[in-house]
Amino acid sequence: MRVTILVLALTGCAPPPAAESGEGLDYNELNAAAGDLVLYELQARSANACHPDDGSPAQRAACAAKIAPTVRAQPSCAIDAELRRIALGTLDDLLDDTADPKQAITIRYLDERLGANGVWLMPLFPDNDRWSLPDACDNLGSPYAVRDYLHAAGSLSRACIAAGRDEESDPPCFADDVLDRVIAEAHRRGMKVLLDVALNHFGHNYLFSDTAGHRAVRDRLPAGENLWDFGATFDAALVHPVIAGATGADADAVHARCPQLSGAPLARAAAAWHEAFDWERASFACDAPSLEYQLPAFYLGRDAWNPSSAPGDNFSNNWVDVKFLYHQESNGAHAWEFARVREYLFRVLNHWLARGADGFRLDHTTDWNSGMAPNEWKYITSKLDYYAWRRGQPRPIFLAEEFGDQLGMSRVSDIMTEGYVGDLTGRNGQNKDSGFVAGVLANSQRFAPHTFVMTALETHDEKRLTDGTGFDEWTGAGFWGLGATMWSTPMLLSGQELGEGWQLSFRRSDYLRSRFAADDRGALVDFYAAMIRARKDPRNRALKSRNWRTLPTRDGSYEPRLYVAAKWSDDGNVLFVAHNLWEQDVAQSYYLPADLAQSIALDESRNYRLVDAISGAQLGDCRRGALLAWNFYVAMGAATRLQWMRLEICP
């Protein structure tokens, strides 16, 4: 279990001493389970969306009959009518009983056909779809401008859609139960589910739900409690949390002040009242029941240093659809406001862990504007570990997107995005030969052993791998396989295995065109599946090891077309990986230097064979270890992208 219990004396408004804030102390241990994942990123709205004019007759008929959410009107968008013709997906679609991607991208498909064992769900919470949107055609708003982190959007539930209700109805309708079923089905298949969150900001007009019965920061800090001492501050309400309703002392206090509130608005206002400081209670808003009006100090003030003093006093940059939260830990005059935000973010994530989520993708984890920094994440992740342990759950997995403090976050998170996508795709003109590949792979290991790097060639923020890289869908797949041979967490973006070339917008209605293409993409799916299956096979455990070495050519020359490396585990499993980088016939002789032969325990006098780690077929005859080390010959035709060869003693 990864828990670091630290001491933080946070009394009054004095800043904590540097040593007590976590600086210089041991960071969290790595969750090794992150290295066993092969992730699949998807947006529920687009992964199973369809267009009524696209695909086979059967697909068109299915699209016409599809239960799909409507989107809010954006009359200034010139293509709004066409966007509305797209039938968007739901979370229910992930539970359809098919392994055929032509019918749906489902949990069954990801498990049985593709072999991914981790699902990264892009944000599925109610979001800002109307205030200060970056583009007139952003008819979904932004998934990363969340307005309620404790519910899944009702527009992702078939039942809510059929009832004509969603998260803004009275009473609201949410997709929480569908998400529960998605997680349960994934777990039944041995898969993990990561939820995507962006916690340095909220969307405009955040609707504040919270855990019922927890002790508020306003009550803890005057008592001088050490919030870092999770055992001493243990709160039973956080073990199996439920969302606060419209009853109890807080609801009574709010109703006395705001008699017009009832139902969900009263429940949200009561949760805010529970957390409000005295000055916020004195000016508590009844006519605009959202977080920035009721608890303005949750947000960063205009000066980017102090918390907001009143509605409208907000830091702003070019992210016009969001408001930044207050994360300035070093501003000792407002330590209580900082602690309150930090505790709420913990409770949000703890809520979903208690419901069964296995971890989180953390968007934009550090930010010099809002003040969000690794020490805050260290607190949150450690406390989540602690409460997961109290529930008897496995440790959660944390995937961090990081631009500001990579070194700091590498010692807090389990997986980093860290730029591998841009490095290996080389869109700025790099000659992607074997020397370039070796350099990128070596760079991806620079955070070991603290964190894995996510070896992906597509994400929702990036272009498709065939765009501007020189790859076609097959050479791109071969380059993706390079990351699958490393100590890493490989990831596929939805549709990559189908050769999707369209960069889906995550702010507007869209769909995977490759699902409806007339040509069969099954062979490409099978290729990715074969790589994933070999990666997961315990007989090839060296692929996930930190031990690796690029092989030199036999004559000492440089072979740019072919990347060949040795991989070995500490318990003696050995593989050689060879990648034909481009579509050409290629052959080369390599050798194993004496120190490498010693590292992999190669006995010169024994007979060895090479076994194809993907097909299981023996490659060539048995050979003496001395001959294998002297002349390790690799030959591949233009259509062959890679060979992963397991070294075995001949029977």
pLDDT higher than 80, residue 589: yes
pLDDT higher than 50, residue 25: no
Give the model's confidence band at 222: pLDDT under 50 very low, under 70 low, under 90 confident, else very high: confident
The tokens for 622 are 């048995």
pLDDT higher than 60, residue 23: no
pLDDT in tens, 513-534: 999 999 889 999 999 999 999 9
Q: What is the mean pLDDT of residues 492-512?
A: 95
How many CB atoms within 10 Å of residue 439?
Answer: 13
Coil vs helix vs strand at 79: coil
pLDDT for 118 equals: 98
Q: What is the mean pLDDT of residues 345-359?
A: 98
pLDDT higher than 70, residue 22: no
pLDDT for 18 equals: 33
pLDDT for 9 equals: 29
pLDDT for 7 equals: 30
pLDDT for 486 equals: 98
Q: Cα–Cα distance between 406 and 21 in angstroms, integer?
A: 19
pTM of the model: 0.95
Q: How far is the CA of 497 from the CAs of 197, 307, 522, 529, in angstroms?
A: 25, 46, 9, 9
pLDDT in tens, 407-416: 999 999 999 9
pLDDT for 599 equals: 97
pLDDT for 506 equals: 87
pLDDT for 558 equals: 83
* Record: fold of 541-649: Immunoglobulin-like (2.60.40)
Q: How far is the CA of 143 from the CAs of 202, 365, 367, 523, 541, in angstroms?
A: 10, 16, 19, 33, 37
pLDDT higher than 80, residue 630: yes
Residues 6+ apart with CB under 8 A from 169: 154
pLDDT for 556 equals: 85
pLDDT higher than 90, residue 29: no
pLDDT for 446 equals: 94
332-351: b (≥16 Cβ within 10 Å) or e: eebbbbbbbbbbbbbbbbbb
Q: Cα–Cα distance between 601 and 544 in angstroms, integer?
A: 18
* Record: fold of 33-204+418-536: TIM Barrel (3.20.20)
Q: Cα–Cα distance between 603 and 421 in angstroms, integer?
A: 39
Give the model's confidence band at 2: pLDDT under 50 very low, under 70 low, under 90 confident, else very high: very low
pLDDT for 501 equals: 96
pLDDT for 17 equals: 31
Q: What is the mean pLDDT of residues 216-244?
A: 94
pLDDT above 90 covers what percent of the chain?
88
Which phi and psi angles does 358 have, rounded to 5°? Answer: -100, -10
Helix (H) or strand (E) segment spanning residue 457: none
Coil vs helix vs strand at 615: coil
Instruction: Count Cα atoms within 13 angstroms, Cβ side, for 425.
Output: 24
pLDDT in tens, 51-80: 999 999 999 999 999 999 988 777 789 999
pLDDT higher than 60, residue 14: no
Q: Cα–Cα distance between 628 and 642 in angstroms, integer?
A: 19
CATH 2.60.40.1180 maps onto the chain at 541-649
pLDDT higher than 70, residue 562: yes
pLDDT for 505 equals: 85
CATH 3.20.20.80 maps onto the chain at 33-204+418-536
User: Alpha helices of 13-79 — where are they, by DSSP H?
Assistant: 44-47, 57-64
pLDDT for 24 equals: 35
pLDDT for 479 equals: 98
Classify the C-alpha dihedral 334-337-339-341 as positive or negative.
negative
CA 276 to chain CA centroid, nearest Å: 32
The span from the first CA to the last CA of the chain, in angstroms, equals: 41
Q: Cα–Cα distance between 25 and 20 in angstroms, integer?
A: 9
Q: Are 541 and 647 in contact (CB under 8 A)?
A: no
Mean pLDDT of the chain: 93
pLDDT higher than 90, residue 377: yes
pLDDT in tens, 264-306: 999 999 999 999 999 999 999 999 989 999 999 999 999 999 9
Q: Are 531 and 614 in contact (CB under 8 A)?
A: yes
